[in-house]
Chains A and B, each alone.
Chain A
Protein backbone atom coordinates (compact mmCIF):
# COMPACT_ATOMS: atom_id res chain seq x y z
CA UNK A 1 0.00 0.00 0.00
CA UNK A 2 2.66 2.40 1.13
CA UNK A 3 5.00 1.41 -1.66
CA UNK A 4 2.35 1.92 -4.32
CA UNK A 5 1.75 5.48 -3.35
CA UNK A 6 5.42 6.34 -3.15
CA UNK A 7 5.50 4.96 -6.67
CA UNK A 8 2.67 7.26 -7.60
CA UNK A 9 4.69 10.31 -6.69
CA UNK A 10 7.73 8.97 -8.51
CA UNK A 11 5.56 8.05 -11.47
CA UNK A 12 4.10 11.53 -11.66
CA UNK A 13 7.56 13.09 -11.68
CA UNK A 14 8.68 10.59 -14.30
CA UNK A 15 5.66 11.33 -16.44
CA UNK A 16 6.30 15.05 -16.27
CA UNK A 17 9.91 14.47 -17.27
CA UNK A 18 8.80 12.32 -20.22
CA UNK A 19 6.43 14.97 -21.50
CA UNK A 20 9.17 17.54 -21.17
CA UNK A 21 11.65 15.34 -23.06
CA UNK A 22 9.17 14.65 -25.80
CA UNK A 23 8.74 18.38 -26.23
CA UNK A 24 12.39 18.65 -27.18
CA UNK A 25 12.75 18.33 -30.97
CA UNK A 26 16.35 17.14 -30.57
CA UNK A 27 15.20 13.80 -29.21
CA UNK A 28 15.35 11.20 -32.02
CA UNK A 29 12.06 9.80 -33.22
CA UNK A 30 12.79 6.26 -32.00
CA UNK A 31 13.47 7.59 -28.52
CA UNK A 32 10.45 9.82 -28.78
CA UNK A 33 8.26 6.89 -29.59
CA UNK A 34 9.65 4.90 -26.69
CA UNK A 35 8.98 7.86 -24.41
CA UNK A 36 5.47 8.15 -25.73
CA UNK A 37 4.76 4.49 -25.10
CA UNK A 38 6.22 4.66 -21.62
CA UNK A 39 4.24 7.79 -20.82
CA UNK A 40 0.96 6.33 -22.01
CA UNK A 41 1.58 3.21 -19.97
CA UNK A 42 2.32 5.31 -16.90
CA UNK A 43 -0.81 7.44 -17.19
CA UNK A 44 -2.88 4.29 -17.51
CA UNK A 45 -1.34 2.77 -14.41
CA UNK A 46 -1.65 5.97 -12.42
CA UNK A 47 -5.31 6.47 -13.26
CA UNK A 48 -6.00 2.88 -12.37
CA UNK A 49 -4.21 3.27 -9.07
CA UNK A 50 -6.20 6.38 -8.19
CA UNK A 51 -9.49 4.77 -9.09
CA UNK A 52 -8.72 1.49 -7.38
CA UNK A 53 -8.23 3.03 -3.96
CA UNK A 54 -11.12 1.81 -1.82
CA UNK A 55 -10.14 1.76 1.80
CA UNK A 56 -11.97 1.99 5.08
CA UNK A 57 -11.39 4.21 8.05
CA UNK A 58 -9.81 2.20 10.84
CA UNK A 59 -9.34 2.81 14.52
CA UNK A 60 -6.70 1.15 16.65
CA UNK A 61 -7.99 -0.85 19.59
CA UNK A 62 -6.27 -3.06 22.11
CA UNK A 63 -6.98 -6.75 21.70
CA UNK A 64 -7.05 -9.31 24.52
CA UNK A 65 -3.26 -9.44 24.57
CA UNK A 66 -3.00 -5.68 24.74
CA UNK A 67 -1.78 -5.36 21.16
CA UNK A 68 -3.25 -2.62 19.07
CA UNK A 69 -5.41 -3.89 16.23
CA UNK A 70 -7.12 -2.02 13.45
CA UNK A 71 -10.89 -2.23 13.50
CA UNK A 72 -13.47 -0.40 11.44
CA UNK A 73 -14.19 3.06 12.73
CA UNK A 74 -17.89 3.77 12.87
CA UNK A 75 -18.50 7.36 12.19
CA UNK A 76 -21.71 8.85 10.85
CA UNK A 77 -19.68 10.19 7.91
CA UNK A 78 -17.95 6.91 7.20
CA UNK A 79 -20.23 5.53 4.55
Chain B
Protein backbone atom coordinates (compact mmCIF):
# COMPACT_ATOMS: atom_id res chain seq x y z
CA UNK B 1 0.00 0.00 0.00
CA UNK B 2 1.32 3.43 -0.80
CA UNK B 3 2.33 5.22 2.33
CA UNK B 4 2.89 8.76 1.13
CA UNK B 5 -0.08 10.88 2.09
CA UNK B 6 -0.74 13.65 -0.46
CA UNK B 7 -1.85 17.03 0.81
CA UNK B 8 -5.09 16.77 -1.11
CA UNK B 9 -6.95 13.62 -2.12
CA UNK B 10 -8.63 13.86 -5.53
CA UNK B 11 -11.22 11.75 -7.32
CA UNK B 12 -13.04 12.28 -10.61
CA UNK B 13 -16.71 11.97 -11.29
CA UNK B 14 -19.37 13.62 -13.41
CA UNK B 15 -22.48 15.64 -12.60
CA UNK B 16 -25.55 15.47 -14.83
CA UNK B 17 -27.76 18.50 -15.41
CA UNK B 18 -30.64 17.52 -17.61
CA UNK B 19 -29.01 15.42 -20.31
CA UNK B 20 -25.74 17.32 -20.14
CA UNK B 21 -22.96 15.93 -18.01
CA UNK B 22 -20.01 17.91 -16.69
CA UNK B 23 -16.81 16.59 -15.26
CA UNK B 24 -16.54 17.13 -11.55
CA UNK B 25 -13.42 16.83 -9.44
CA UNK B 26 -13.75 16.11 -5.74
CA UNK B 27 -10.96 17.23 -3.46
CA UNK B 28 -10.46 16.34 0.16
CA UNK B 29 -8.10 18.03 2.54
CA UNK B 30 -7.46 17.46 6.22
CA UNK B 31 -6.21 20.08 8.56
CA UNK B 32 -5.81 20.77 12.25
CA UNK B 33 -8.98 21.91 13.91
CA UNK B 34 -12.08 20.65 15.57
CA UNK B 35 -12.94 17.22 14.15
CA UNK B 36 -15.53 17.69 11.42
CA UNK B 37 -16.39 16.61 7.88
CA UNK B 38 -17.95 19.24 5.67
CA UNK B 39 -18.76 19.47 1.97
CA UNK B 40 -18.62 22.71 -0.01
CA UNK B 41 -19.75 23.54 -3.55
CA UNK B 42 -23.17 23.99 -5.18
CA UNK B 43 -24.48 20.85 -3.60
CA UNK B 44 -28.00 19.58 -3.04
CA UNK B 45 -29.27 18.07 0.17
CA UNK B 46 -28.29 14.50 -0.74
CA UNK B 47 -24.74 15.55 -1.60
CA UNK B 48 -24.43 17.56 1.61
CA UNK B 49 -25.31 14.45 3.60
CA UNK B 50 -22.66 12.54 1.66
CA UNK B 51 -20.18 13.29 4.42
CA UNK B 52 -22.18 11.34 6.97
CA UNK B 53 -22.70 8.39 4.66
CA UNK B 54 -19.03 8.32 3.65
CA UNK B 55 -17.92 8.39 7.28
CA UNK B 56 -20.23 5.48 8.16
CA UNK B 57 -19.32 3.50 5.06
CA UNK B 58 -15.59 3.90 5.62
CA UNK B 59 -15.96 2.93 9.27
CA UNK B 60 -17.86 -0.18 8.20
CA UNK B 61 -15.07 -0.96 5.73
CA UNK B 62 -12.50 -0.73 8.53
CA UNK B 63 -11.00 2.66 7.66
CA UNK B 64 -11.01 5.00 10.63
CA UNK B 65 -11.23 8.71 9.88
CA UNK B 66 -8.66 10.71 11.84
CA UNK B 67 -10.09 13.25 14.34
CA UNK B 68 -9.24 16.24 12.17
CA UNK B 69 -11.07 18.91 10.23
CA UNK B 70 -11.95 17.27 6.91
CA UNK B 71 -13.04 19.51 4.06
CA UNK B 72 -14.43 18.18 0.79
CA UNK B 73 -14.87 20.44 -2.20
CA UNK B 74 -16.76 19.82 -5.42
CA UNK B 75 -15.13 21.61 -8.34
CA UNK B 76 -16.08 23.44 -10.42
CA UNK B 77 -18.07 25.03 -7.62
CA UNK B 78 -20.88 26.31 -9.83
CA UNK B 79 -21.99 22.95 -11.21
CA UNK B 80 -25.16 21.95 -9.40
CA UNK B 81 -24.43 18.56 -7.92
CA UNK B 82 -27.54 16.88 -6.64
CA UNK B 83 -28.17 13.31 -5.67
CA UNK B 84 -26.02 10.74 -3.96
CA UNK B 85 -23.84 9.68 -6.91
CA UNK B 86 -20.81 11.49 -5.42
CA UNK B 87 -20.68 9.32 -2.29
CA UNK B 88 -18.28 6.90 -3.92
CA UNK B 89 -15.86 9.45 -5.44
CA UNK B 90 -15.90 11.34 -2.15
CA UNK B 91 -14.97 8.19 -0.25
CA UNK B 92 -12.22 7.50 -2.81
CA UNK B 93 -10.86 11.05 -2.41
CA UNK B 94 -10.75 10.53 1.35
CA UNK B 95 -8.96 7.19 0.85
CA UNK B 96 -6.44 8.85 -1.48
CA UNK B 97 -5.84 11.58 1.08
CA UNK B 98 -5.29 8.95 3.73
CA UNK B 99 -2.83 7.15 1.46
CA UNK B 100 -4.94 4.01 1.26
CA UNK B 101 -5.33 4.47 -2.50
CA UNK B 102 -2.69 5.85 -4.89
CA UNK B 103 -2.91 9.50 -5.92
CA UNK B 104 -2.41 8.45 -9.55
CA UNK B 105 -5.94 7.10 -9.44
CA UNK B 106 -7.30 10.52 -10.37
CA UNK B 107 -5.55 10.40 -13.72
CA UNK B 108 -7.49 7.68 -15.47
CA UNK B 109 -10.30 6.55 -13.21
CA UNK B 110 -13.70 7.98 -12.35
CA UNK B 111 -16.32 6.90 -9.83
CA UNK B 112 -20.10 7.06 -9.61
CA UNK B 113 -22.19 5.55 -6.86
CA UNK B 114 -24.16 5.98 -3.70
CA UNK B 115 -22.87 4.45 -0.49
CA UNK B 116 -24.80 2.53 2.08
CA UNK B 117 -23.92 2.89 5.73
CA UNK B 118 -22.52 -0.66 5.57
CA UNK B 119 -20.01 0.28 2.89
CA UNK B 120 -22.05 -1.10 0.03
CA UNK B 121 -22.08 0.65 -3.37
CA UNK B 122 -25.53 1.32 -4.74
CA UNK B 123 -26.78 2.23 -8.22
CA UNK B 124 -27.60 5.84 -9.13
CA UNK B 125 -29.60 7.38 -11.96
CA UNK B 126 -28.20 9.16 -15.02
CA UNK B 127 -25.12 6.93 -15.31
CA UNK B 128 -25.30 6.85 -19.09
CA UNK B 129 -24.78 10.58 -19.78
CA UNK B 130 -22.21 10.73 -16.99
CA UNK B 131 -20.29 7.78 -18.44
CA UNK B 132 -20.32 9.40 -21.88
CA UNK B 133 -18.88 12.63 -20.40
CA UNK B 134 -16.21 10.66 -18.56
CA UNK B 135 -15.24 8.76 -21.70
CA UNK B 136 -15.13 12.03 -23.68
CA UNK B 137 -12.76 13.47 -21.08
CA UNK B 138 -10.30 10.71 -21.87
CA UNK B 139 -10.76 8.79 -18.64
CA UNK B 140 -10.26 5.08 -19.24
CA UNK B 141 -11.93 3.47 -16.26
CA UNK B 142 -15.21 3.93 -14.45
CA UNK B 143 -16.23 2.31 -11.17
CA UNK B 144 -19.95 1.92 -10.69
CA UNK B 145 -22.34 -0.31 -8.80
CA UNK B 146 -22.92 -3.68 -10.39
CA UNK B 147 -26.48 -2.66 -11.19
CA UNK B 148 -25.23 0.35 -13.18
CA UNK B 149 -22.47 -1.55 -14.99
CA UNK B 150 -24.43 -2.68 -18.02
CA UNK B 151 -25.82 0.82 -18.50
CA UNK B 152 -22.38 2.42 -18.30
CA UNK B 153 -20.97 -0.21 -20.65
CA UNK B 154 -23.26 1.09 -23.43
CA UNK B 155 -20.58 3.73 -23.93
CA UNK B 156 -17.82 2.15 -25.91
CA UNK B 157 -14.13 2.75 -25.11
CA UNK B 158 -14.64 2.79 -21.38
CA UNK B 159 -13.54 0.06 -18.99
CA UNK B 160 -16.43 -0.33 -16.59
CA UNK B 161 -15.60 -1.88 -13.24
CA UNK B 162 -18.55 -3.14 -11.26
CA UNK B 163 -18.10 -2.99 -7.52
CA UNK B 164 -20.41 -3.87 -4.69
CA UNK B 165 -18.55 -2.49 -1.65
CA UNK B 166 -15.92 0.10 -0.82
CA UNK B 167 -13.66 -2.83 0.09
CA UNK B 168 -13.96 -4.03 -3.55
CA UNK B 169 -12.84 -0.61 -4.73
CA UNK B 170 -9.76 -0.74 -2.48
CA UNK B 171 -8.93 -4.28 -3.55
CA UNK B 172 -9.20 -3.55 -7.29
CA UNK B 173 -7.40 -0.22 -7.13
CA UNK B 174 -4.50 -1.58 -5.12
CA UNK B 175 -4.22 -4.61 -7.35
CA UNK B 176 -5.16 -7.03 -4.60
CA UNK B 177 -7.90 -8.43 -6.77
CA UNK B 178 -8.82 -8.39 -10.44
CA UNK B 179 -11.80 -6.40 -11.54
CA UNK B 180 -14.91 -8.49 -11.67
CA UNK B 181 -16.61 -9.09 -14.95
CA UNK B 182 -19.68 -7.03 -15.69
CA UNK B 183 -22.53 -9.09 -14.33
CA UNK B 184 -24.56 -10.73 -17.03
CA UNK B 185 -27.78 -8.74 -17.02
CA UNK B 186 -30.95 -10.64 -16.58
CA UNK B 187 -32.44 -11.42 -19.97
CA UNK B 188 -34.82 -8.70 -21.04
CA UNK B 189 -38.30 -9.81 -20.14
CA UNK B 190 -39.88 -11.21 -23.25
CA UNK B 191 -42.39 -8.41 -23.47
CA UNK B 192 -45.41 -9.66 -25.35
CA UNK B 193 -45.33 -7.30 -28.33
CA UNK B 194 -48.99 -6.87 -29.24
CA UNK B 195 -49.68 -7.96 -32.80
CA UNK B 196 -51.97 -6.35 -35.37
CA UNK B 197 -53.35 -9.80 -36.07
CA UNK B 198 -55.44 -9.50 -32.90
CA UNK B 199 -57.30 -6.49 -34.28
CA UNK B 200 -60.47 -7.66 -36.00
CA UNK B 201 -62.27 -5.45 -38.49
CA UNK B 202 -61.46 -1.74 -38.13
CA UNK B 203 -60.38 -1.43 -41.75
CA UNK B 204 -60.17 2.35 -41.65
CA UNK B 205 -58.24 2.51 -38.39
CA UNK B 206 -55.80 -0.20 -39.50
CA UNK B 207 -55.02 1.69 -42.66
CA UNK B 208 -54.65 4.96 -40.74
CA UNK B 209 -52.28 3.29 -38.30
CA UNK B 210 -50.16 2.01 -41.18
CA UNK B 211 -49.97 5.50 -42.69
CA UNK B 212 -49.15 7.00 -39.30
CA UNK B 213 -46.34 4.50 -38.85
CA UNK B 214 -45.00 5.06 -42.35
CA UNK B 215 -45.11 8.85 -42.31
CA UNK B 216 -44.80 9.73 -38.64
CA UNK B 217 -48.15 11.56 -38.65
CA UNK B 218 -50.08 12.32 -35.49
CA UNK B 219 -53.49 10.70 -35.23
CA UNK B 220 -56.77 10.88 -33.34
CA UNK B 221 -58.73 7.67 -32.83
CA UNK B 222 -62.47 8.25 -32.61
CA UNK B 223 -64.65 5.50 -31.23
CA UNK B 224 -67.09 4.58 -28.51
CA UNK B 225 -65.76 3.09 -25.27
CA UNK B 226 -64.56 -0.47 -25.61
CA UNK B 227 -64.08 -0.52 -29.37
CA UNK B 228 -60.32 -1.00 -29.16
CA UNK B 229 -58.72 2.44 -29.26
CA UNK B 230 -56.00 1.59 -26.73
CA UNK B 231 -55.56 -1.78 -28.39
CA UNK B 232 -54.71 -0.10 -31.68
CA UNK B 233 -52.52 2.58 -30.13
CA UNK B 234 -50.45 -0.01 -28.29
CA UNK B 235 -49.72 -1.69 -31.62
CA UNK B 236 -48.21 1.38 -33.27
CA UNK B 237 -44.72 0.98 -31.72
CA UNK B 238 -44.57 -2.52 -33.20
CA UNK B 239 -45.07 -1.09 -36.68
CA UNK B 240 -42.29 1.45 -36.31
CA UNK B 241 -38.77 0.48 -37.35
CA UNK B 242 -36.32 -0.44 -34.58
CA UNK B 243 -34.28 2.49 -33.27
CA UNK B 244 -30.79 2.92 -34.68
CA UNK B 245 -27.75 3.39 -32.39
CA UNK B 246 -28.05 7.14 -32.16
CA UNK B 247 -31.76 7.14 -31.40
CA UNK B 248 -31.55 4.22 -28.98
CA UNK B 249 -28.77 5.97 -27.05
CA UNK B 250 -30.71 9.24 -26.95
CA UNK B 251 -33.67 7.41 -25.49
CA UNK B 252 -31.45 5.45 -23.10
CA UNK B 253 -29.94 8.73 -21.86
CA UNK B 254 -33.38 10.10 -21.09
CA UNK B 255 -34.33 6.91 -19.34
CA UNK B 256 -31.05 6.94 -17.48
CA UNK B 257 -31.66 10.45 -16.19
CA UNK B 258 -35.17 9.44 -15.18
CA UNK B 259 -33.64 6.58 -13.24
CA UNK B 260 -35.42 3.93 -15.28
CA UNK B 261 -32.31 2.07 -16.45
CA UNK B 262 -30.42 1.37 -13.23
CA UNK B 263 -32.89 -1.23 -12.04
CA UNK B 264 -33.44 -3.08 -15.29
CA UNK B 265 -29.83 -3.15 -16.42
CA UNK B 266 -30.34 -4.75 -19.80
CA UNK B 267 -26.99 -4.90 -21.51
CA UNK B 268 -28.19 -4.55 -25.05
CA UNK B 269 -29.65 -1.21 -26.01
CA UNK B 270 -33.41 -1.27 -26.02
CA UNK B 271 -34.21 -0.56 -29.66
CA UNK B 272 -37.95 -0.83 -29.37
CA UNK B 273 -39.72 2.52 -29.84
CA UNK B 274 -41.31 3.41 -26.53
CA UNK B 275 -45.03 3.77 -25.83
CA UNK B 276 -45.99 6.10 -23.02
CA UNK B 277 -49.61 6.46 -21.97
CA UNK B 278 -49.92 9.07 -19.23
CA UNK B 279 -53.27 9.37 -17.50
CA UNK B 280 -55.26 12.55 -18.01
CA UNK B 281 -54.87 13.43 -14.33
CA UNK B 282 -51.11 13.76 -14.92
CA UNK B 283 -49.51 17.03 -13.81
CA UNK B 284 -47.69 19.35 -16.16
CA UNK B 285 -44.42 18.48 -14.42
CA UNK B 286 -44.90 14.76 -14.98
CA UNK B 287 -45.98 15.23 -18.58
CA UNK B 288 -43.43 17.77 -19.76
CA UNK B 289 -40.68 17.24 -17.24
CA UNK B 290 -40.12 18.94 -13.91
CA UNK B 291 -39.07 18.68 -10.34
CA UNK B 292 -37.35 21.00 -7.95
CA UNK B 293 -33.86 22.30 -8.59
CA UNK B 294 -33.15 20.58 -11.86
CA UNK B 295 -36.05 19.25 -13.91
CA UNK B 296 -36.28 15.53 -14.65
CA UNK B 297 -37.60 14.30 -17.99
CA UNK B 298 -41.36 13.92 -18.31
CA UNK B 299 -43.57 11.51 -20.21
CA UNK B 300 -43.08 13.29 -23.53
CA UNK B 301 -39.32 12.79 -23.31
CA UNK B 302 -39.70 9.19 -22.22
CA UNK B 303 -41.74 8.80 -25.42
CA UNK B 304 -38.76 10.13 -27.42
CA UNK B 305 -38.61 8.38 -30.83
CA UNK B 306 -41.76 6.53 -29.85
CA UNK B 307 -45.45 7.03 -29.26
CA UNK B 308 -47.25 9.26 -26.76
CA UNK B 309 -50.79 7.99 -26.29
CA UNK B 310 -53.34 10.38 -24.79
CA UNK B 311 -56.49 8.43 -24.05
CA UNK B 312 -59.77 10.21 -23.29
CA UNK B 313 -58.49 13.37 -24.95
CA UNK B 314 -61.60 15.25 -23.87
CA UNK B 315 -60.72 14.70 -20.22
CA UNK B 316 -57.32 16.35 -20.61
CA UNK B 317 -57.06 19.89 -19.28
CA UNK B 318 -56.76 22.43 -22.07
CA UNK B 319 -53.69 23.87 -20.32
CA UNK B 320 -51.76 20.60 -20.72
CA UNK B 321 -52.75 20.14 -24.35
CA UNK B 322 -51.68 23.68 -25.12
CA UNK B 323 -48.37 23.01 -23.43
CA UNK B 324 -47.85 20.06 -25.78
CA UNK B 325 -47.89 22.25 -28.86
CA UNK B 326 -44.34 23.55 -28.60
CA UNK B 327 -42.70 20.14 -28.08
CA UNK B 328 -44.81 18.70 -30.90
CA UNK B 329 -43.54 21.40 -33.24
CA UNK B 330 -39.93 21.57 -32.08
CA UNK B 331 -39.14 18.07 -30.88
CA UNK B 332 -37.62 19.37 -27.67
CA UNK B 333 -38.91 20.70 -24.38
CA UNK B 334 -37.15 23.39 -22.38
CA UNK B 335 -37.81 23.51 -18.67
CA UNK B 336 -36.48 26.19 -16.39
CA UNK B 337 -36.10 25.43 -12.72
CA UNK B 338 -34.30 27.22 -9.90
CA UNK B 339 -30.91 25.63 -10.48
CA UNK B 340 -30.82 25.11 -14.19
CA UNK B 341 -32.73 25.33 -17.44
CA UNK B 342 -32.58 21.98 -19.15
CA UNK B 343 -33.59 20.81 -22.60
CA UNK B 344 -34.86 17.31 -23.12
CA UNK B 345 -35.54 15.76 -26.49
CA UNK B 346 -39.19 14.98 -27.19
CA UNK B 347 -39.61 13.76 -30.74
CA UNK B 348 -42.71 11.65 -30.40
CA UNK B 349 -45.67 10.58 -32.40
CA UNK B 350 -48.95 11.64 -30.88
CA UNK B 351 -51.86 9.23 -30.78
CA UNK B 352 -55.00 10.63 -29.15
CA UNK B 353 -58.24 8.80 -28.49
CA UNK B 354 -61.69 10.15 -27.80
CA UNK B 355 -65.33 9.27 -27.99
CA UNK B 356 -66.77 10.18 -31.40
CA UNK B 357 -69.54 12.39 -30.01
CA UNK B 358 -70.71 14.06 -26.80
CA UNK B 359 -72.90 11.12 -25.71
CA UNK B 360 -70.06 8.65 -26.02
CA UNK B 361 -71.34 7.09 -29.21
CA UNK B 362 -72.28 3.77 -27.70
CA UNK B 363 -75.50 2.16 -28.87
CA UNK B 364 -77.96 4.42 -30.59
CA UNK B 365 -76.46 7.85 -30.63
CA UNK B 366 -78.92 10.71 -30.77
CA UNK B 367 -76.42 13.53 -31.06
CA UNK B 368 -77.19 15.91 -33.90
CA UNK B 369 -74.55 16.45 -36.53
CA UNK B 370 -74.14 20.04 -35.42
CA UNK B 371 -73.51 18.94 -31.83
CA UNK B 372 -70.93 16.41 -32.97
CA UNK B 373 -69.06 18.93 -35.11
CA UNK B 374 -69.02 21.39 -32.24
CA UNK B 375 -67.65 18.64 -29.99
CA UNK B 376 -64.99 17.65 -32.51
CA UNK B 377 -63.93 21.24 -33.00
CA UNK B 378 -63.56 21.62 -29.25
CA UNK B 379 -61.69 18.32 -29.17
CA UNK B 380 -59.20 19.08 -31.84
CA UNK B 381 -58.93 22.77 -30.92
CA UNK B 382 -55.63 22.75 -29.03
CA UNK B 383 -54.07 20.21 -31.34
CA UNK B 384 -55.95 21.16 -34.51
CA UNK B 385 -53.72 21.33 -37.55
CA UNK B 386 -51.38 18.86 -35.91
CA UNK B 387 -53.47 15.73 -36.13
CA UNK B 388 -53.69 14.43 -39.68
CA UNK B 389 -55.52 11.13 -39.41
CA UNK B 390 -58.80 10.68 -37.60
CA UNK B 391 -60.10 7.16 -38.18
CA UNK B 392 -63.47 6.22 -36.75
CA UNK B 393 -63.54 2.87 -35.00
CA UNK B 394 -66.70 0.83 -35.08
CA UNK B 395 -67.86 -1.00 -32.00
CA UNK B 396 -67.35 -4.70 -32.53
CA UNK B 397 -70.22 -7.13 -32.58
CA UNK B 398 -69.83 -10.56 -31.11
CA UNK B 399 -69.74 -11.96 -34.66
CA UNK B 400 -66.74 -9.84 -35.52
CA UNK B 401 -64.84 -11.02 -32.48
CA UNK B 402 -65.44 -14.68 -33.15
CA UNK B 403 -65.98 -15.06 -36.85
CA UNK B 404 -63.94 -12.35 -38.53
CA UNK B 405 -60.70 -13.54 -40.09
CA UNK B 406 -57.54 -12.38 -38.38
CA UNK B 407 -56.09 -9.23 -39.90
CA UNK B 408 -52.64 -8.84 -41.36
CA UNK B 409 -49.88 -9.40 -38.85
CA UNK B 410 -47.61 -6.71 -37.51
CA UNK B 411 -44.66 -8.21 -39.39
CA UNK B 412 -46.37 -7.88 -42.80
CA UNK B 413 -47.45 -4.29 -42.18
CA UNK B 414 -44.12 -3.33 -40.64
CA UNK B 415 -42.38 -4.50 -43.81
CA UNK B 416 -44.51 -2.14 -45.93
CA UNK B 417 -43.93 0.62 -43.40
CA UNK B 418 -40.18 0.07 -43.57
CA UNK B 419 -40.20 0.19 -47.38
CA UNK B 420 -42.20 3.44 -47.34
CA UNK B 421 -39.93 4.95 -44.71
CA UNK B 422 -36.92 3.99 -46.79
CA UNK B 423 -38.34 5.93 -49.76
CA UNK B 424 -38.81 8.99 -47.58
CA UNK B 425 -35.35 8.62 -46.08
CA UNK B 426 -33.78 8.53 -49.53
CA UNK B 427 -35.75 11.63 -50.53
CA UNK B 428 -35.20 13.88 -47.55
CA UNK B 429 -33.49 11.85 -44.89
CA UNK B 430 -36.43 11.75 -42.51
CA UNK B 431 -40.08 10.91 -42.26
CA UNK B 432 -42.74 12.68 -44.31
CA UNK B 433 -44.36 14.36 -41.32
CA UNK B 434 -41.23 16.49 -40.89
CA UNK B 435 -40.55 17.25 -44.54
CA UNK B 436 -40.78 20.87 -45.64
CA UNK B 437 -43.86 21.93 -47.62
CA UNK B 438 -41.79 22.97 -50.62
CA UNK B 439 -40.06 19.59 -50.80
CA UNK B 440 -43.35 17.70 -50.64
CA UNK B 441 -45.03 19.93 -53.23
CA UNK B 442 -42.12 19.33 -55.56
CA UNK B 443 -42.94 15.62 -55.66
CA UNK B 444 -46.66 16.07 -56.32
CA UNK B 445 -48.48 15.73 -59.60
CA UNK B 446 -50.08 19.05 -60.68
CA UNK B 447 -53.51 17.39 -60.75
CA UNK B 448 -53.04 16.33 -57.13
CA UNK B 449 -52.18 19.89 -56.12
CA UNK B 450 -55.22 21.19 -58.01
CA UNK B 451 -57.46 18.76 -56.14
CA UNK B 452 -56.06 19.95 -52.83
CA UNK B 453 -56.46 23.55 -53.92
CA UNK B 454 -60.12 22.93 -54.68
CA UNK B 455 -60.57 21.37 -51.24
CA UNK B 456 -59.26 24.58 -49.69
CA UNK B 457 -61.58 26.69 -51.88
CA UNK B 458 -64.52 24.54 -50.85
CA UNK B 459 -63.69 25.02 -47.20
CA UNK B 460 -62.89 21.33 -46.74
CA UNK B 461 -59.31 22.19 -45.78
CA UNK B 462 -57.72 25.12 -44.07
CA UNK B 463 -54.76 26.75 -45.77
CA UNK B 464 -52.50 25.17 -43.23
CA UNK B 465 -54.21 21.84 -43.74
CA UNK B 466 -53.15 21.94 -47.40
CA UNK B 467 -49.56 20.94 -46.72
CA UNK B 468 -50.48 18.63 -43.86
CA UNK B 469 -52.88 16.71 -46.09
CA UNK B 470 -50.25 16.69 -48.81
CA UNK B 471 -47.75 15.09 -46.43
CA UNK B 472 -50.25 12.34 -45.67
CA UNK B 473 -50.84 11.94 -49.41
CA UNK B 474 -47.07 11.66 -49.82
CA UNK B 475 -47.06 8.80 -47.34
CA UNK B 476 -49.94 7.11 -49.18
CA UNK B 477 -47.86 7.40 -52.35
CA UNK B 478 -44.83 5.91 -50.60
CA UNK B 479 -46.91 2.97 -49.40
CA UNK B 480 -48.01 2.69 -53.02
CA UNK B 481 -44.32 2.81 -54.11
CA UNK B 482 -45.24 5.72 -56.33
CA UNK B 483 -42.57 8.42 -56.83
CA UNK B 484 -45.13 11.21 -57.35
CA UNK B 485 -48.22 12.09 -55.36
CA UNK B 486 -51.26 11.35 -57.52
CA UNK B 487 -54.85 12.56 -57.18
CA UNK B 488 -55.87 9.24 -55.64
CA UNK B 489 -53.38 9.72 -52.82
CA UNK B 490 -54.82 13.15 -52.14
CA UNK B 491 -58.33 11.69 -52.09
CA UNK B 492 -57.28 9.17 -49.50
CA UNK B 493 -55.53 11.79 -47.40
CA UNK B 494 -58.69 13.92 -47.44
CA UNK B 495 -60.83 10.92 -46.49
CA UNK B 496 -58.56 10.29 -43.51
CA UNK B 497 -59.17 13.84 -42.31
CA UNK B 498 -62.93 13.62 -42.73
CA UNK B 499 -63.66 12.86 -39.10
CA UNK B 500 -61.60 15.80 -37.95
CA UNK B 501 -63.63 18.90 -38.68
CA UNK B 502 -66.34 20.21 -40.89
CA UNK B 503 -65.71 19.00 -44.35
CA UNK B 504 -68.01 19.48 -47.24
CA UNK B 505 -70.21 22.19 -48.56
CA UNK B 506 -73.41 20.93 -46.99
CA UNK B 507 -71.99 21.42 -43.57
CA UNK B 508 -70.74 24.88 -44.23
CA UNK B 509 -74.20 25.72 -45.54
CA UNK B 510 -75.83 24.26 -42.47
CA UNK B 511 -73.44 26.01 -40.18
CA UNK B 512 -73.78 29.40 -41.77
CA UNK B 513 -77.52 28.92 -41.56
CA UNK B 514 -77.25 28.12 -37.87
CA UNK B 515 -74.97 30.97 -36.99
CA UNK B 516 -76.88 33.92 -35.64
CA UNK B 517 -76.60 37.12 -37.62
CA UNK B 518 -76.48 35.39 -40.98
CA UNK B 519 -80.18 35.30 -41.65
CA UNK B 520 -80.02 37.97 -44.27
Q: Do A and B bind each other?
A: no
